[in-house]
Chains A and B, each alone.
Chain A
Amino acid sequence: MNAPFPPRAKKRLKIATATLGGCFGCHMSLLDMDERFLDLAKLVDFDRSPLTDLKHCGPCDIGLIEGAVCNAENVHVLREFRAQCRTLIAVGACAINGGLPAQRNPLDLSDLMRKVYCDRVDDTAQIPDDPELPLMLDKVYPIHEIVRIDYLIPGCPPSADALWKFLTDLIEGRTPRLDYAHFRFD
């Protein structure tokens, strides 16, 4: 007979969050959970996140990504999250289908950059070439087109209630669902 598995200690889950090309609105919604945020903090620890100001992500159970993939840096952050997070979740319209940033997709990138940086009165204007700045991708992509994604929370932003419901479902081991009132694309 095989030896039984040793009983597993209930461990606290680790969560990381990041914003790619987005407005931080989804993170604001997270804060909108108000006192429930304290309840959440009892269940989980936060790794990399604007809330902790940690710059890199260690191994995590849940990663929440807000925003679309607009530039090279977004790709690096997203890859780090995918590599470190057991479960990766796209949060909000931009992460899910490109959202507002993707509205540039029908436009030509060079026209866009010239308009922004060069069409000015001062004639020294040029497209910045500082290596510190991340380069723009030809198009804005939803995050599921760059890495594999496990779950998605729709909304622009998802309400605090929706985030709370989704995360508690996940933490407690239920497949997350949203009721009609919290199922929103706007």
Chain B
Amino acid sequence: MSEILAQFMLDGHRIAFEPGQTILQAALAAGIYIPHLCAHPEFTPHGSCKLCTVMVNGRNGSACTIKAMPGQDVLSDNPDLNSRRRTLLQMLFAEGNHFCPGCEKSGNCQLQALAYDLEMFDPHFAQFFPAREADGTHPEAFLDFNRCIMCELCVRASRDVDGKNVFAIAGRGRDTHIIVNSPSGKLGDSAFSIHDKAAQVCPVGAILPKEVGFVRPIGERLYDHDTIAEVALREEAGARSGEVT
């Protein structure tokens, strides 16, 4: 009698997993990158950006929410799935106002780095040019909703880690937007602090610390030489070996 091995196949590679891990978690632990934006190792899966869409036994699903199971046959890094991911990125770029040359996050931005990695030449679709607001009322951080991609990481961090509920997501459809919990609706009179988890999780340049912009010159930024895959796997390995990254 043999035990069922805790393994699944990912693009032809045999991946071992620990019970309870998602496909994304198991893949990263095994040193294989699956593109993702709204997933974060410290938070419960969200499954909204859909960048991590993979085929599991012939069906589409989010690698960040599907639990790894023995015998799964998972496809991720192939032209069809990458082309869909590219289109999803183009949708995010067209939906917001992403002016990389004028953004302090440029070079350290996950949305941009993923676009490089997936060779997204342009946003392709007609720009939505939404009228979104920037909020400079907080002494320590800028909010610029022009760059928000609705991953809700700040919402989750403020609620689940900081216990402050500073951010919430309101509206529906393409009117979906982040709102700030304060009497004026501005960040300045909310309970937000730069030391909050919520201040550190934004994958794009929607929440930016003040007075440190462009501190790393071009050529020394996070994704200037290393791809998002390389950076993510290095951080994963660092976290696993308990090092401080």
Contact = CB atoms under 8 A, between A and B. Distances in A.
A180 interface: yes
Nearest to B98: A97
B129 A106 contact: yes
B100 A183 contact: no
B101 A93 contact: yes
B102 A103 contact: yes
B111 to A, nearest CB: 10
Contact of A99 (B99, B117, B124): B99
Contacts of A181: 225
A139 interface: yes
Given A97-B98, A102-B127, A103-B102, A180 B227 contact: yes
Interface string A52-95: 00000000000000000000000000000000000000100100
Interface string B123-163: 11011010110000000000000000000000000000000
Interface string A110-152: 0000000000000000000000000000010110110000011
A168 interface: no
Given A156-B101, A180-B227, A185-B112, A106 B131 contact: yes
Most chain B beta-carbon neighbours within 10 Å: one of A90, A99, A180: A180
Contacts of B28: none
Interface string A168-186: 0000000001101101111
Contacts of A105: 97, 129
A144 B99 contact: no
A96 interface: yes
Contacts of A99: 99, 101
Nearest to B103: A186
Contacts of B122: 90, 96-97, 142, 144, 152, 154
Nearest to A155: B101
B93 A97 contact: yes
B35 interface: no
Interface in B85-120: 93, 97-103, 106-107, 112, 115-117, 119
A44 interface: no
A177 B123 contact: no
Given A103-B99, A106-B131, A183-B116, A96 B123 contact: yes
Contacts of B93: 97
A96 to B, nearest CB: 5
A172 to B, nearest CB: 19
Contacts of A21: none
Contacts of A106: 97, 129, 131-132
Nearest to A97: B123
A185 B119 contact: no
B121 A154 contact: yes
A68 to B, nearest CB: 10
A33 interface: no
Most chain A beta-carbon neighbours within 10 Å: one of B103, B115, B123, B131: B123
A139 B129 contact: yes
B101 A142 contact: no
A100 interface: yes
Contacts of B121: 96, 151-154
Given A156-B100, A185-B115, 17 more contacts: A93-B100, A97-B93, A97-B98, A97-B127, A98-B127, A99-B101, A103-B97, A142-B122, A145-B127, A154-B121, A154-B122, A178-B119, A180-B117, A181-B225, A184-B116, A186-B106, A186-B107
27 contacts: A93-B99, A93-B100, A99-B101, A100-B102, A102-B99, A102-B127, A103-B97, A103-B99, A105-B97, A105-B129, A106-B129, A106-B131, A139-B129, A141-B127, A142-B123, A142-B127, A144-B122, A144-B124, A145-B126, A152-B121, A153-B121, A156-B100, A156-B101, A183-B119, A185-B101, A185-B112, A186-B107
Ranked 4 nearest A-B pairs via Cβ: A185-B100, A156-B101, A152-B122, A186-B106
